[in-house]
Amino acid sequence: MPEQTRLTLTPGACIGILGGGQLGRMLALAAAKLGLSSHIFAPEADSPAFAVSATHTRAEYTDEAALARFAEAVDVITYEFENVPVETVRFLEALKPVRPGSKALDVAQDRLREKQLARSLGIETAGFMPVASAAALKSAVGSLDTPCVLKTRRFGYDGKGQVSIRKPEDAPAAWEALGGQPMGAEAPPLLAILEKFVPFTCEVSVIAARGLDGHFAAYDVTENEHRNHILHRSFVPSRLENNVTEAALSIARRLGEALDYVGVFAVEFFVLGAGEEARLIVNEIAPRVHNSGHWTMDGARTSQFEQHIRAVAGWPLGGTERLGSCEMINLIGKDVETWEKILAEPAACLHLYGKTEAREGRKMGHVNRCKKA
């Protein structure tokens, strides 16, 4: 349906959002600011996004009847996380424009294809080898050498689906820990990737957007700190030198183009070394708004959520100008109990996601602290 691929919305239109977590919630709020309504599709009854959208559908991503009704009710469709089944997106694409499309999702869901794409564009990644059996893992550890990290190709997040291998003898246990079968056992293969460990000096990300017209706009490079594999803190400006940030933005642009991307996406990097000689290693591409871009809600001209809505609506991208220096801290699990203290800080901007239960490791909210430039 070529006429649909260029469809642009008018205010009053409805954006369908697959996924009802905090990212879907903040997307729906951004849509409302622009006079658009939203319709959330998610399986979980307590989806935080349901409370801020005009309509929602609670159904499984495999429920084609529900998906068809959802597509009928909306003007354009997007998703808030990359673990939506690609079949769901392909099914919907036949009915309504889905932005970003299944091509980007298909690549970004798979650590192997992600790295292959980067390499094909001449972009540096960690050394890697696909691994689909305990025997293949043994041989891969032999060629990449330790330390390395075994990861599932799909559905990993926040450190889930990965195991470190510090010495070759760890390999069989790592394989089993990830859910693979011991050598010789009969079972559906675990599709994994072995990655060479990168002794990074810091981690950074680029939050970028590509419009329906191919226009590219990126925010300043964000520096990130993780705790227990979960993002803890992001800040801008990063400590990178200008030539390195330029290189990071250029990599994001090339990846966005290669994926025919429409919307906001994130590219996570490991940084090797420091100063002007620092090397950038692409770690992951997230085909969605990203936790390390939450600072843009208070620290940039246009938030990443509004930026994504603009792109998905086929509208011009907003300004990505940074308004000052900014730090974002995630409120994970019981961290959220500090909400009153945060509210009492004059320069803190508190964002809570409306989740009732503060389970360990659960992202409950975040706080941005910004200073004028």
Q: Interface residues with a copy of itself (CB under 8 A)?
A: 11-12, 25, 28-29, 32-37, 50-54, 301-302, 310, 315-316, 318-319, 321, 323-324, 336, 339-340, 343-344, 346-347, 349-356, 365, 372-373
In the bound state with a copy of itself, the residue whose beta carbon lies nearer, of 13 and 126, is: 13
Shortest gap between Cβ of 148 and a copy of itself (angstroms)? 41
In the bound state with a copy of itself, the residue whose beta carbon lies nearer, of 117 and 264, is: 264
Shortest gap between Cβ of 261 and a copy of itself (angstroms)? 20
Place of tokens 């109990």: 337
In the bound state with a copy of itself, the residue whose beta carbon lies nearer, of 183 and 373, is: 373
Shortest gap between Cβ of 332 and a copy of itself (angstroms)? 15
Q: Which residues contact 201 (CB under 8 A, 6 or more apart)?
A: 271, 272, 273, 274, 278
Shortest gap between Cβ of 334 and a copy of itself (angstroms)? 13
Q: What is the DSSP string of 90-144?
A: HHHHTTS-BSS-HHHHHHHT-HHHHHHHHHHTT--B--EEEE-SHHHHHHHHHHH
Shortest gap between Cβ of 50 and a copy of itself (angstroms)? 7
Starting at the edge strand found earlier in the chain, the sheet holding 162-165 runs 128-131, 192-196, 148-152, 162-165
**Do 88 and 18 touch, CB atoms closer than 8 A?**
yes
* Dist CA 291 CA 371 (whole Å): 20
Pairing of strands 128-131, 148-152: unpaired
* Dist CA 107 CA 89 (whole Å): 13
In the bound state with a copy of itself, the residue whose beta carbon lies nearer, of 198 and 336, is: 336
Tokens found for residue 27: 């997307």
In the bound state with a copy of itself, the residue whose beta carbon lies nearer, of 17 and 123, is: 17
**Do 214 and 253 touch, CB atoms closer than 8 A?**
no
**Do 369 and 349 touch, CB atoms closer than 8 A?**
yes
In the bound state with a copy of itself, the residue whose beta carbon lies nearer, of 76 and 126, is: 76
Shortest gap between Cβ of 42 and a copy of itself (angstroms)? 15
Strands (E), 157-299: 162-165, 192-196, 202-210, 216-218, 222-227, 230-236, 263-272, 279-286
Tokens found for residue 189: 């293969």
In the bound state with a copy of itself, the residue whose beta carbon lies nearer, of 7 and 274, is: 7
In the bound state with a copy of itself, the residue whose beta carbon lies nearer, of 203 and 298, is: 298
Shortest gap between Cβ of 330 and a copy of itself (angstroms)? 14
Q: Which residues contact 122 (CB under 8 A, 6 or more apart)?
A: none
Shortest gap between Cβ of 333 and a copy of itself (angstroms)? 14
In the bound state with a copy of itself, the residue whose beta carbon lies nearer, of 11 and 182, is: 11
Tokens found for residue 82: 């990359």
User: What b-and-e string marks burial along 7-26, b requiring 16 or more CB atoms within 10 Å of the CB?
Assistant: bebeeebbbbbbbbbbbbbb
Tokens found for residue 354: 């409306």
Shortest gap between Cβ of 311 and a copy of itself (angstroms)? 11
